[in-house]
Chains A and B, each alone.
Chain A
């Protein structure tokens, strides 16, 4: 098994810098997910690790050895492509055998390995089939099988589930996570889907425009987003963000007044220099409290109630004309046009300064939820 280390990695295509200095350490056996919007450079970064793209600048270390100039085959990595990239002219068995054959593994040993992997992936009935005769989910399994038989140091996945329908995607997510627990292999997984990132990762790397915005465990990112970008990107439905004014900063924290007229004291490190400036207050939909228990609750009208069964998402237009989302229980009877009162519990509020950087909390939440 292996560690992967990126030291100030850069990539320039012609004149445009796509990856702008990425440094990251991936521990042995870790499941790391690169997540970010389309075009942010996730694939480019993964392909540089794979050896399919040259590294313009910086060092890539696998197990402590610099591999910038080592070819893809000699890095000991296996990759699963978004399009699966199976060899169309070879059957399932031959697809999995190809790398082993090139590595000059004896026939009997090859057969043993392939049969074992085919068994775990339930591919045994299809070994003689060509990829064209398989369904999307089966092709996906073959692509994974082709990676597993090689017993690689690191598994690389580039959006492997994005060509599958929603139901299959959910199922494959579970299978991949289970497989990772069993193999305990270092894995780097690229996706633009934050749900995949949240459910599978040990460590999430949020990328935007070729730079790392934040690295952390799923819950770390969820509860302590370092900036507005991460706050918006992680979590569905997304965090509510509202404009606010800092009216005081003292021992208690920072007191802000929202455009709706409510004021909240958030327990972040007080910064006197921010008094009078505008900041952004963020609160997740499930943390907004409904009802009039607060001294000065906010007022709004339900625009739409999405009843998901277990949960309800209320889209509420608040007094200043903004919309927020409030998550309540599934049994919630509220419907469109109902007036609601709500409040923002200070312990759940995030504050971001004018640059979109989160103001540090005085006390961190316990992440073990």
Chain B
């Protein structure tokens, strides 16, 4: 529904949007700047706005840790977890959207509620399970945990997108002779491509940024970029220049990826809210 706003209200809402955007953007911007500062400039108070940019921090970061090793792990974990999450979510969301039962709403809410539990609450059991199944510090192990933590979100999102597909179209498919598999793959999925893409995108971003399980379930072999950042925050005290350079390197790929797919993402996340 289009809401007609007065000019004043438009300006106010526009300004508020900008303030929030800058608020969110500033730390990233500062991190980016700090990465190009010498360690002395980086810790100066008050902060130096003008400084001689240097690549020293980046050079040291690359020297001390194998960035590509961590980056590859992150890519494998994010893509793998997302792929499996989508694969499992499609039938689940289909059943909930088109064959709802008495407990469907309750199940959906229950699934979402698992996201409200602080992850640390299940750290010990998950750690023990991972240890006993020899999945500690493996890409597969972390991918499974990431996939499971994102499953409620991907099921919910796909459920919402599937609900937008008119049921008669699926029924027309059934009348035309499509079995359940064909109904889903040939009729439903092509119509839900935008929704599936934005769900996958969100899952990718969440996996990419996931730190808690990464730090607790991996050490070296399967350590992703979040562990890479963390490795620059510890023993010798804080070196903000190197930390910022490492963080910039870690978030850059997903930022660029997100930038190119932002249209898809916005469409996905506001689906139903804007018509």
Contact = CB atoms under 8 A, between A and B. Distances in A.
Interface string A84-122: 011111000000001100110000000000000000000
Interface in B81-115: none
B178 A85 contact: no
Interface residues of B, number: 16
Nearest to B193: A89
Interface stretch (A75-83, A219-227, A252-260): A75-83
B197 interface: no
A314 interface: no
A58 B83 CA distance: 46
A305 interface: no
Contact of A79 (B166, B175, B178, B187): B175
A102 B168 contact: no
B169 A73 contact: no
B175 A73 contact: yes
A102 B171 contact: no
Contacts of B172: 79, 81, 85-87, 146
B191 A89 contact: yes
A99 B168 contact: no
A72 interface: yes
A52 interface: yes
A79 to B, nearest CB: 5
Interface string B151-195: 000000000000000101101111111110010000100110000
Nearest to B179: A73
Interface string A141-154: 00000100010000
A52 B191 contact: no
B175 A72 contact: yes
Contacts, number: 56
Contacts of A351: none
B171 A85 contact: yes
B176 A98 contact: yes
A4 interface: no
Contacts of A246: none
B190 A102 contact: no
Nearest to A152: B175
Nearest to A158: B168
Instruction: Give the interface size bracket for A toward B.
Output: 20 to 34
Contact of A87 (B174, B179, B187): B187
Residue of B169, B173, B177, B179 with highest tally of chain A CB at under 10 A: B177
A50 interface: yes
B262 to A, nearest CB: 24
A81 B171 contact: yes
A102 B177 contact: yes
Contacts of B174: 51-52, 71-73
Contacts of A73: 174-179
Contacts of B182: 102
A85 B168 contact: yes
Nearest to B102: A14
- Which of A79, A83, A85, A99 is packed against the most chain B CB atoms within 10 Å? A85
B190 A99 contact: no
Contact of B169 (A77, A78, A87): A87
Contact of A52 (B171, B176, B178): B171
A50 B174 CA distance: 10
Contact of A78 (B168, B175, B190, B191): B175
B166 A83 contact: yes
B102 to A, nearest CB: 9
B168 A83 contact: yes
Interface string A272-288: 00000000000000000
Contacts of A82: 168
Contacts of A102: 176-178, 182
Contacts of A86: 169, 172
B203 to A, nearest CB: 24
B204 to A, nearest CB: 25
Contacts of A88: 169, 191
Interface string A282-318: 0000000000000000000000000000000000000
A103 B191 contact: no
A83 B187 CA distance: 16
25 contacts: A52-B174, A52-B175, A71-B174, A72-B174, A72-B175, A73-B175, A73-B176, A77-B175, A78-B175, A79-B171, A81-B172, A83-B166, A85-B166, A85-B168, A85-B171, A86-B172, A87-B169, A87-B172, A87-B173, A87-B187, A88-B169, A99-B177, A102-B178, A146-B176, A150-B176
The 4 closest A-B pairs by CB, nearest first: A85-B168, A99-B176, A73-B177, A85-B172
Interface of B: 166, 168-169, 171-179, 182, 187, 190-191
Interface of A: 50-52, 71-73, 77-79, 81-83, 85-89, 98-99, 102-103, 146, 150
Given A83-B168, A89-B190, A99-B176, 6 more contacts: A72-B175, A73-B176, A83-B166, A86-B172, A87-B169, A103-B177
